[in-house]
Structure 1
Amino acid sequence: MRRRTVLASLTAGIGSLAGCSTTLGGTTETPTTTPTEQPTESPTPTSNDPSENEEWELGAASIIDLTTANRTYALAPLRYRSDDGASIRMRFSSTATSEGPATVEATLTNENPFENTFRLDWTPPFGRLFSDIPHPMGERSGDFTYRVGLIFAPTANHDLVEDPPDIQRADDGYWRLASDTTPELPERVRLSPGETIHGEYALVGRAEGVGRGRPPGVYEFSRAGERPLRVAVWPTDSPGPATDSQFAGMSVPALPGDSDTAWFHNADASSPTFVRPSTEQTSLPARIEFTFINRAREAEGCGHWNVYKLQGGEWFHLGPYVQDAVCHRLSPGHAETWALRAATSEMAPCEAQSYPFLGGGRYAAVAGYGHATAQSGALVEIDAPPVTVVPTDDVTTQRDSGTVTATSDRWRTAPDSEGRSRVSLVLEPVGNANRRLIAEQVMRRRYRGYRNTLAFVASDVERVVLRTDDRTADWTVGYDDGTAQFLYEEQAYRITKRTP
C-alpha cells in the first residue's frame, strides 16, 4: 500500500471529544425501504477521476441502508473546498453487513497551481474524525452524549495510515472501535499541484457506546466557521414523524394555486418528508418554528415559505409578499427551520418573519418542498382576540360631511430623493366584488393603504380619501391598474388611485 510522506507530528491527530458542543446548522421517487447490501446513490465510479462522476456533486447525498440494523445513513456534502485550496470529496463505498462496517471512500486533491502543505486536523474525514454530540434533525440539542457519536475510523486502504484501529461488531449489532484508542492520522500533508491522496474509512461508533444503539439524528463533523460535514440517521422503515398531530384526520380546503400540499397532520411513519411545527397550539405573543425534514432519497426544492389563515372555509395569504428568485434545494438527511414571530400588536424588527396583528384562528406555514407534492405544510391553532383595524400612528384626519380625509406622513414627506410622489386613494362602497380581504391582511405593512381607509369606515361615512404616496397606492391597487374592488366584512368596496 502506497504511503505519503507527511509533515509535522505523527502523533494522534485527533483527541477525545467528550466535551464537544453541538453546532447547527421536482420529480421524486418512492424511497426504497428494504435494506440492501449496496449503498443507495453511490454507484461504482466509471472513472478514476471522481470529478467525472455526478455522484460526487455538491447538493447531493450518499445514502445507505444498513443490513445490520433498521437505520439509514445520509452523508453530505459529497465535496467541499478548504481555505487552503484542497478539494475534498467523499461518499459511501459499502453498507454495514454482518461481515463488515459501512465504509466511506474519500480523496483530497491539491487544486492550487503550486506545491502546498495542508492542515488535516480540521478537514474531515482526513481530520476531525469524531462527530460532535448528535442532535435531533431540525433541532440544536437533544438527550444525547458523546458516547453515541460516530467516527471515521481509517482502514488499511488509506494513503496516510500504517496501523489502522481495530473495529468489531458489538453485541448491540453496531460496528464500533474495539477499544477507546484514538485513531491516528498526521496533522499535515504536503502535495504537488493536482496531487491526490486517497482514504477509506469505516463509519463506526465509539467503544464506550455499546448498548446505546444508534439514535436517529444528525451527526456533524464540524469545521471551524464552515459548513459541517454531516451524517443524518433515521429508521429505514419509518422515516416519518414519531408523534401524531392533534389535527390528525382533519380535512382542510386546498390552498390557493394549482399545487397539492402534503400536510403534517396527514403524515405517518412512512412519510419521507414533512413540515414539523414546534407547537400546534399557542397563545400570543409566540415564536413558532416550522421545520421541513427531508428523509427522501433525493434533494427537494424549491424552498420558499408562506403563511396563510383559514377563515370561512377559505385560505388567505399573509406573506411573505416578496420572495427571492433563488430556488433552494435541500439534500437528503437535511432539515430547514423557518421561524415565525406572532403577536396581537406591533412588533420590533427581528431576523425571524414577524406577523403582528394576528387574531385567533387556524393558520398554516407552507414550505415549497415536498415528496410527490410541490409543497408541504403544517397547521397551528392560535388563541387570541379578533383583530381590530386601526390606522397607523402617523395619520391625521378631517371630516367634511360624509367624507373623511386622512393624511399620512408619506404624503407629508413626498416628493423625496427616492422618487416618491403624492397621490390619493379613494375608498367607496360598491355593489359587489370577488376578492375578499380579512383583518390580518389589512393590518400588514404592505397593505397600509387598505388599513388607513377601512379604519375610518362607518355607517355615516360615504367615502374615505387617503392622502399618501404612489408606492403605498401601487401596493394597494397594483402597478398597472388604477383601481381595485374587494369584499371586507361582507361589504364590497372600490379603491381608486388619484393624482392631486
Structure 2
Amino acid sequence: MRPLSRRKLLALATGGAIGGGVVASATDGPDRPDALEVDCPDYGEDVTTTACNDHQRIGVTLEPSTTTLSAPGTLTFTLRNRTHRQFKTNWYGWKLHKLVDGDWFYLGPRVVQLPLHPVLPGGTMDWTLSVQPNSDGSDDHDSDEILRQYLGSGTYAFGIDGWPSDGSSDAKTALIETFELEAPDLSLDPPRAVETVEWDESKDGEVLVARTDRAIEGDRPMAYELEVVDSAESTERVILEQVLRDDQFRTVVSLADEYDADRVRLEDDTAGSEPASRFPGVYEYDGTAYRLEMGEL
C-alpha cells in the first residue's frame, strides 16, 4: 500500500483538502443519481450518526458518480464539506460491503493505514473504485485508485466515517452510498500456486493434503487445516467474495468441494505476504460449516 501521491499531497497543502476543490454552496455540484432503496451497513459503536444514501446538499456529503456499474468499470465517490468546520477522516479508511439475503458482508480493506486527513470548508476528497475482471492478481489500494477484483453482481455499499473539528472521534458520522454492480459470474477455484494434491490415510482417517510451490521452496511453511463440522450458533456465515480474498481459505474450501473431502490440509508459506484473515474459526459457506485451524509445520 503506497503513500499519498505528490499530486494529492500538493492539493492538501495548497487547496486545503485532498483532491482540491472550491467553496461550494448548498446547491452547487452535479446532479446526483437516485439512491437505491436499501438500508446501509452498521459501521460500529463509535459511529453515532449514519447518512445512508443521503442526497441533501447541506453539511458534509458523499456523492457517487453513479449508482449502477458494469465490470470492468470505475465509480467515483466525492466527499464534499459544505460546512464552516474541518471534517476529519482517513482516505484509507473506506469500507466496502455486499448485501446478500438481507445481510451486509464486509469486503475490505483488510489493512488500513492511519493518517488523519482534514477536509477544509469548501474542500473535497475523492475515492475512485475500479472493478476489474477476475484474475489471479491481487487487490490494490494506491494513492489514486482502489482496485477490486472478485466482485460478483449484486448490491454494494461504499462509505467512510469521520467527525467535525469541534467534535469527537468517539462520535463519528458515517457517510454511505449503495450501488448496483453487474459483473461476470464468480467461481470457486483453487489458486494456481497449488503444486500437489494427494490423499493421506495414515492418521485418523482420510485427509486430503495439498502443497503449494511456496511450501516446497519456502523457509516458514504453515499448515492450514479444514474440517467439515455440524453447524453451530457461533458459526460465521461468509460469501464467495470473502472466500476468494483469502488464498488459504479459498484453497481448502475449493479442494473440499472438488474432492468431496471432509478434511483438508494445506501446506503453504505466506512469509512476506498478508496473513490469512479467516483463521482460526468456524465458518459457514454455501450451506456447509467448516472449522479452520493453522499452525507451524
* Shorter-chain TM-score range: 0.7 to 0.9
Question: For the aligned residues, what is the CA RMSD?
Answer: 3.1
**1:416-431 to 2 correspondence within 5 Å?**
421-431=220-230
More strand by share: 2
Partner of 1:356: 149
TM-score by length of 1: 0.48
Unaligned stretches of 5+ residues in structure 2: 1-9, 165-170
When the two structures are aligned, how many residues end up with a matched partner?
Answer: 265
Q: CA deviation at 1:376?
A: 0.7
Work out whether 1:389 is the aligned partner of 2:178: no
Q: State the AA in 2 paired with 1:410.
A: R
Partner of 1:366: 159
SS at match of 1:233: coil
Partner of 1:212: none
Contact 1:389/1:455 (8 A) holds in 2: yes
Match of 2:211 among 403, 407, 413: 407
Partner of 1:276: 63
- Measured at CA, do residues 281 and 139 of structure 1 come closer, stay the same or move farther in structure 2, by a change above 3 Å? farther
Q: CA deviation at 1:429?
A: 0.9
- Measured at CA, do residues 489 and 329 of structure 1 come closer, stay the same or move farther in structure 2, by a change above 3 Å? same
Cα separation, 2, equivalents of 1:296 and 1:473: 39
Match of 1:491 among 258, 279, 288: 288
- Measured at CA, do residues 283 and 455 of structure 1 come closer, stay the same or move farther in structure 2, by a change above 3 Å? same
Partner of 1:187: none
User: Relative contact order (alpha carbons < 8 A, sep ≥ 6): 1 or 2 greater?
Assistant: 2
Partner of 2:84: 297
Q: CA deviation at 1:411?
A: 0.9
SS at match of 2:99: strand
SS at match of 2:162: coil
Q: CA deviation at 1:426?
A: 0.8
Q: CA deviation at 1:427?
A: 0.6
Partner of 1:340: 129
Partner of 1:89: none
Cα separation, 2, equivalents of 1:363 and 1:428: 31
Match of 2:54 among 266, 274, 277: 266
Partner of 2:240: 439
Partner of 1:460: 260
Contact 1:403/1:461 (8 A) holds in 2: yes
Cα separation, 2, equivalents of 1:312 and 1:392: 28
Cα separation, 2, equivalents of 1:262 and 1:277: 13
Match of 1:327 among 116, 127, 135: 116
Percent identity for Structure 1 against Structure 2: 25
1:377-428 deviations in Å (ceiling 9; x for gaps): 111100124421211112123232753222112212320xxxxx11111111
- Measured at CA, do residues 316 and 275 of structure 1 come closer, stay the same or move farther in structure 2, by a change above 3 Å? same
- Measured at CA, do residues 414 and 138 of structure 1 come closer, stay the same or move farther in structure 2, by a change above 3 Å? closer
Partner of 1:206: none
Q: CA deviation at 1:239?
A: 6.4
Larger Rg: 1
**1:140-159 to 2 correspondence within 5 Å?**
none
Q: State the AA in 2 paired with 1:329.
A: P
Q: CA deviation at 1:430?
A: 1.2
TM-score by length of 2: 0.78
Contact 2:43/2:174 (8 A) holds in 1: no
Cα separation, 1, equivalents of 2:179 and 2:18: 18
Cα separation, 1, equivalents of 2:214 and 2:131: 26
Partner of 1:254: 41
Cα separation, 1, equivalents of 2:285 and 2:209: 20
Cα separation, 1, equivalents of 2:197 and 2:186: 25
- Measured at CA, do residues 276 and 282 of structure 1 come closer, stay the same or move farther in structure 2, by a change above 3 Å? same
Partner of 1:221: none
**1:84-163 to 2 correspondence within 5 Å?**
none
Cα separation, 2, equivalents of 1:403 and 1:287: 43
Q: CA deviation at 1:256?
A: 4.4
Work out whether 1:377 is the aligned partner of 2:176: yes
Contact 2:75/2:130 (8 A) holds in 1: yes
SS at match of 2:260: coil
